[in-house]
A and B are shown apart, each in its own frame.
Chain A
Amino acid sequence: NAGVTQTPKFQVLKTGQSMTLQCAQDMNHNSMYWYRQDPGMGLRLIYYSASEGTTDKGEVPNGYNVSRLNKREFSLRLESAAPSQTSVYFCASSALTDYEQYFGPGTRLTVT
């Protein structure tokens, strides 16, 4: 079992460029999440998907879109990157929304 995988691990974008972060899990989990973590801070929820076919906004959704492609995959898209989106992005999954979450290794994104 690979658990939760994320690609890419690192990315540098120029302001205004777009990109999609990919996430996949092989644990047959129903719920998936995208977080960002800024230096010295905890995780802030961007979007989550409680189950296949549903997505909901978290605490900081502006500037992002998501797609729950199937039960395994949950992607995060930045349509027009801004320097304020420089952060480490974590994808996570859980069996249900109130169960423990398993995190991917993270994507370090820098927007210049």
Chain B
Amino acid sequence: EDKVVQSPLSLVVHEGDTVTLNCSYEVTNFRSLLWYKQEKKAPTFLFMLTSSGIEKKSGRLSSILDKKELFSILNITATQTGDSAVYLCAVDCGKSTFGDGTTLTVKP
């Protein structure tokens, strides 16, 4: 059975802090790993990773994949209150399997 596990389940930080969210997976026929942000509505796409060791970056957010150790991390630097959301990791292996998400709360 395909499995995606995210940690921590929740995290509370203050503005300006740097956070690292983790996603580990056990799937057959891995094709890609995707990160989404969900703010009380529909998830929105952040990154898609297919190759190990290549960092994807967008502003203060970055992500990297390790296909040997079967995990990915999502980093957010200089956090802002607008970063408060649930961050979802999904692995595509012909069909999508999502983790349960990490709830990030950024306090002013």
Contacts and interface: CB of A to CB of B under 8 A. Distances in A.
Interface of A: 33, 35, 40-45, 48, 56, 58-59, 90, 97-106
B95 interface: yes
Contacts of A56: 95
Given A41-B100, A42-B88, A104-B42, A99 B48 contact: yes
Given A42-B88, A99-B48, A100-B48, A106 B95 contact: no
A42 B99 contact: yes
Given A33-B96, A58-B95, A100-B34, A43 B45 contact: no
Contact of B42 (A97, A100, A103): A103
A45 B1 CA distance: 14
Given A42-B101, A100-B48, A106 B32 contact: no
Interface residues of B, number: 23
Interface in B49-84: 50
B43 interface: yes
Contacts of A43: 43, 88, 90, 96, 98
Given A99-B48, A100-B34, A45 B42 contact: no
The interface centre, meaning the residue of B31, B50, B98, B101 with most chain A CB atoms within 10 A of its CB, is B98
Contacts of B34: 100-101
A43 B99 CA distance: 8
B41 A97 contact: no
The interface centre, meaning the residue of B42, B45, B88, B97 with most chain A CB atoms within 10 A of its CB, is B42
B98 A90 contact: no
